[in-house]
Structure 1
Amino acid sequence: MQGGLAINLMHFARALRAAGLPVGPGKLLQAVEAVEAVGIGNRADFYWALHAVFVNRRDQREVFDQAFHVFWRNPDILKRMMGLMLPTIRTEASDRQDPLSRRVADALRGTAPEAEGPEKSEIEVDAAFTVSAQERLQEKDFEKMSAAEMAEAKRMLARIALPVAEVTTRRHRPDPLGPRVDPRATLRRMLRSGGDLADLARRSRRTRPPPLVVLCDISGSMTRYSRMLLHFMHAVSNDRDRVHSFVFGTRLTNITRHLRHKDVDVALDAVSAAVADWSGGTRIGTALHAFNRTWARRVLGQGAVVLLITDGLDRDAGEGLAVEAERLHKSCRRLVWLNPLLRWEGFAPKSSGIRALLPHVDDFRPVHNLNSLAGLADALNRDGPRRAESLRKWLKEAA
């Protein structure tokens, strides 16, 4: 292979690594071999040869696609990327730019951060700015994060804890101050003392966190959030027992066993291999029907708490959704709906899927940044009423 092409492949691999893809020297050598095998006469063959080497998971496809067209000179996308690199006035439209494009732009920009040397030295001596950097990251929408910010957010998600208020079980434990007398333990005490009178043994009910069931939407409209939420689900699955995780788009897939891997990369690779409907359509009613019919009796015992993560945009226009949501609500202790669309101030429950779901949930919360997940932890730690007070306004608008 000619030296110039090999060097360009090396720079392309570095750009992909900076954009968040797991690319190392081994991948670069495989890319060189793949290009030597297919040649560079056909752009499509060249694209798919590199795609086969560098892309391991479905959520990496868009990053690779944009990086390829920018690096190998697609004029339209290059022009748009250059627009991201230039200083612009911050408006509502600019806030909604494609986050993957920003990740690619950050990766290809290379040495741009060094150009801000004087401002950086000023920030280092200002303690207020140093503290607020992490606070800004906690408040930043997952959709707007750069590659470096997403990596830091994933590290913070790995340390997250999700306490849930403990519930009383049917089992008992020894308790000297318990409200109930334990006849068996009392008789054993008397036998050990030769039949003489002994103090009454007492007991109380055991308490333990209830099972946690997570149903996460991985359709195309949720792609930007499902990647980060899978990291959250992995952290929760390895932090406590009795956590059951499911993902759905047009069908329901149980990923509980895959998320038990301690290594998050191994776990997400296993999930990617198991899920066939990634970034497709959404059939919420069909997915809930499959869950209610196949899994509800197995995982919703002992007062389980259910987290339903979806934007409520259903391709079936909410057909059968209300019936399945009602059945799910009656089968669990608490049903919490997490919707990233709640981040918009002008949100209104106008979609038929949202209207069908709202009457059957106990809490309706946003899930779009780290602070929203922290707020979820606080809400689950308080064993309040089934129907949250904050849900009433949404029910009125949906009526």
Structure 2
Amino acid sequence: MTERPDRRSLRLAADHLWGFMSALRRAGVRPAPPKQADFLRAIAESAPRDVTSLYWYARVTLLDGVADLETFDRVFDTWFRRDDIETAVTPPPDERGNAPAPHGGDDGGPPPPDAVQGNGVEASALATTGRRAFGRSDARQRDLMRSLQATWPACLPTISSRRRHPARSGRRLDMRRVWRQARRDGGEIVRLRWTTRPPRTRRLLLLVDVSGSLRKHTSDLLRLAHTAIQAAPARTEVFTFGTRLTRVTAALSCPQVDRALDALSHEVLDAHGGTAIGAALERFLDTPRFLALARGALVIVISDGLERGDCAAMVRSTERLSRLGHRLVWWSPLACSPTYRPITRGMAGQLGSLDRLGGVRDLETGLAEIRRLPTVLAGPRRAAARHWPEPTPTGPPT
């Protein structure tokens, strides 16, 4: 049983943490009050097991980018790189008098900070807020984006438009134009006019996971979403989700990808943090103006499916999205591995609702999956389970 710290130790730990944040401000690193609250909440909910773990708690929650990293490291080393500090970061005991475990454990608390950094092993419940930089696009990425933008239109599903347009032939006469022409010809019908309903592209709905477990893939996944908006600007909607749901269609509408990603960094404040897939999908489905965007649309969810806690909400939301949309496709970076199997409870529970479970981790794999879309659209509904062995959920809910 963990020894309960005395009042003096708790007071010293609190004073030391506040002193560290004051030293950061004096050194020119000024985290916003919500970010400081995230840092203290993370320590209170899951105590760091060593100074390295504390470093990642502080770096993930307090820093906006890498510009202040050198100053941050210097201040952190001054305040915490000592042998006697290990016991100073122990959080206060709960109301029953029991101190929290030194790290997440199996009781539903947050996992160690390395999961927040995006190792793709397990999801995190730690909510972080702040601006995240998504990097600049290199020449190879721009070439792939041009290929993606040219590929999207031919691979998206179509539907007959509601409005009728004049046509040279068809199955329905345009009687108004026929009689108008007849009056010009002395009352004789000498030429028939037709109308038709030309095809138009169905709406494309992209839901992109930006949580910490996808940290190294997030930038390319957002570039992939940018190419979709540029290819079909009037028919594409993009949302991101981590611990909150954010509509980013307007930010990604800028033709210059780096400008679009820079604008996106001001709007997506939960990137590289925790995961709440079920809560985000439920929030989408509970908002009427968002719900309408999914009806009859090609819905593509890009996520590893690593849910934190109970996965029932994610499975229910996926089932409902499948009924609302024309097709529901799930792209996971984990599925790029030949040894991957959807055996977590979340993925196994929703596999029967998916039309395809594919692997996308960068622009190149994204291009390959887009080219497979016509085959998916021509096939039967909910066919993902046919292409994977029958999954057997194992382990705790993820």
The TM tier, using the shorter chain, reads 0.5 to 0.7
CA distance 1:184–1:67, change in 2 (3 Å): farther
Q: 1:397 aligns with which of 388, 391, 394?
A: 391
Correspondence for 2:174: 182
Superposed displacement of residue 343, structure 1: 1.5
Superposed displacement of residue 398, structure 1: 4.6
Tell me if 1:300 matches 2:294: yes
- 1: CA distance, partners of 2:389 / 2:290: 26
Aligned pair count reads 281
Superposed displacement of residue 99, structure 1: 11
Correspondence for 2:341: 348
Superposed displacement of residue 179, structure 1: 2.2
Q: Is the 8 A contact 1:334 1:386 kept in 2?
A: no
Q: Is the 8 A contact 2:242 2:275 kept in 1?
A: yes
- 1: CA distance, partners of 2:351 / 2:66: 34
Tell me if 1:277 matches 2:275: no
CA distance 1:289–1:319, change in 2 (3 Å): same
- 2: CA distance, partners of 1:321 / 1:64: 37
Superposed displacement of residue 270, structure 1: 2.2
- 2: CA distance, partners of 1:216 / 1:189: 53
Superposed displacement of residue 391, structure 1: 4.0
Correspondence for 1:156: 143
Specify the SS of the correspondent of 2:379: coil
- 2: CA distance, partners of 1:278 / 1:43: 23
Q: Is the 8 A contact 2:294 2:321 kept in 1?
A: no
Q: 1:384 aligns with which of 378, 384, 388?
A: 378
CA distance 1:43–1:287, change in 2 (3 Å): closer
TM score, norm. by length of structure 2: 0.62
Q: Which has the higher helix share?
A: 1
Structure 1 residue ranges (4+ consecutive) displaced by more than 6 angstroms after TM superposition: 65-72
Q: 2:257 aligns with which of 248, 254, 264?
A: 264
Cα RMSD over matched residues?
Answer: 3.4
Q: 1:201 aligns with which of 168, 193, 206?
A: 193
Correspondence for 2:213: 221
Tell me if 1:289 matches 2:270: no
Correspondence for 1:310: 303
Unaligned runs of 5+ in 2: 1-22, 31-60, 78-116, 120-134, 394-398
Percent identity among equivalent residues? 30
Superposed displacement of residue 389, structure 1: 5.2
Correspondence for 2:35: none
Relative contact order: is structure 1 or structure 2 higher (C-alpha 8 Å, sep ≥ 6)?
Answer: 2
Q: Is the 8 A contact 1:236 1:243 kept in 2?
A: yes
Superposed displacement of residue 300, structure 1: 2.6
Unaligned runs of 5+ in 1: 1-41, 50-57, 75-97, 101-146
Tell me if 1:48 matches 2:29: yes
Letter of the 1:247 counterpart: T
Tell me if 1:334 matches 2:327: yes
Q: Is the 8 A contact 1:220 1:278 kept in 2?
A: yes
Q: Is the 8 A contact 1:321 1:356 kept in 2?
A: no
**Residue by residue, what CA displacement relative to the aligned partner does 1:270-327 show, whole Å, maximum 9, x if unpaired?**
22212232211111111111111214443134x3111100000001331322221111
Correspondence for 1:322: 315
CA distance 1:200–1:366, change in 2 (3 Å): same
Superposed displacement of residue 359, structure 1: 1.4
